[in-house]
Amino acid sequence: MTSNKQLLLLPGDGIGPECMAEVRRVADWLDAQGAVTFEIEEDLVGGAAIDAHGTPLADATMDKAMTADATLLGAVGGPKWDDIPFERKPERGLLRLRKEMALYANLRPALCFDALVEASTLKPEVVSGLDILIVRELTGGVYFGEPRGIETLPDGSRRGVNTQVYSDAEIERVARVAFELARKRGGKLCSVEKANVMESGVLWREVVTALGPDYPDVALSHMYADNCAMQLVRAPKQFDVIVTDNLFGDMLSDAAAMLTGSLGMLPSASLGDPDPEGRRRGLYEPVHGSAPDIAGQGKANPLASLLSFAMLLRYSLDLEEEAQLVERAVERVLASGQRTADIAASGSTTVSTREMGDAVLEAVQALAG
């Protein structure tokens, strides 16, 4: 039976559109095969939406995201919009999507493909075979906490304020997602906070610890965030699943990305509560940014976007086979030696964004063969 899925594509700014174009070709090919059909709509987010509508996310676009089966986002931001007021910056569009769709669990897998072991700045033996998953809380913490702002005091001096705040319910729901995922992977969960200096960290540790007995098959450990940053570059293979707050997750996932060779390789999935069938509506995006310095030049690596699309197929559409098809195609292309500039050894030849997309599409077709 053919199932029809509504996809919303938000290419955004910088290298977002050129990476998204390669995803679109794979989606169109899958659609033509008939096992699943996609109704694909594209819309604006970030700077592109500011230019067209004066806001980083139009209400009509927000409505489409709320009804689509899944949304794939490219990237937002760039120097062109640096000087506009904070509340209307391109990044606010992305944060609004996350918050209003209640996507509290952000999955950021860091997988070192065999073919890319040499592309990492770390020693091959440190990263070879690496397969870790960071689960980042995405709708709370200092990103959204109140009070916030910049205030001018009576003496004319100014104060910038942000608030780190977590309720026990917010901690519990993201921790449960992480426990469930750990259970299906290597059975290890490391919870990361700064309980040595922050009350929100003390509560985080208490709540996660109290959930431990519900998951006797998962080995739970705790680590301070600064130590975790150090351990990630020292011995990253000690980790299986890491669960942490919004800000620590932002930083630790950038560090984890570099273990895999390039920020251009990392996909992510942002998920809310499951529907009765267990599927989760989600927002999928590469972990990399809009890279304005190389935008429009065909130099960008589309693999993080393609791997994000694979996560979309898996988590929101329940299409495990198709998800693996895309992932195996990426692996095959890397094994064949094709490299965009960000993952190429110095001096070796590189392929363009389009050529990388061609290669993945061909590999998908061959593997589906």
Mask of contacts with ligand IPM, 267-306, x by CB under 6 A?
--------------------x-------------------
Among 41, 91, 318, 358, indicate the residue that binds ligand IPM (CB under 6 A): 91
Find which of ligand IPM, Mg ion, none residue 91 binds, CB within 5 to 8 Å per kind. ligand IPM
Q: Is 358 a catalytic residue?
A: no
Q: Which residue number, 77 or 360, has a Cβ lying nearer to ligand IPM?
A: 77
Among 13, 31, 250, 322, indicate the residue that binds ligand IPM (CB under 6 A): 250
CB of 136 to ligand IPM, least distance (A): 8
Q: Is 43 a catalytic residue?
A: no
Find which of ligand IPM, Mg ion, none residue 94 binds, CB within 5 to 8 Å per kind. ligand IPM
Among 7, 94, 97, 171, indicate the residue that binds ligand IPM (CB under 6 A): 94
CB of 250 to ligand IPM, least distance (A): 5
CB of 94 to ligand IPM, least distance (A): 5
CB of 259 to Mg ion, least distance (A): 15
Question: How far apart are alpha carbons 246 and 152 in whole angstroms?
Answer: 28
- The one catalytic residue in 31, 69, 143, 215 is 143
Q: Which residue number, 258 or 287, has a Cβ lying nearer to ligand IPM?
A: 287
- The one catalytic residue in 13, 69, 166, 194 is 194
Q: Is 226 a catalytic residue?
A: yes
CB of 288 to Mg ion, least distance (A): 9
- The one catalytic residue in 28, 63, 226, 275 is 226
- Regarding 137 and contact with ligand IPM (CB under 6 A), the answer is no
Catalytic residue numbers read 143, 194, 226, 250, 254
Contacting positions for ligand IPM (CB under 6 A): 91, 94, 250, 287
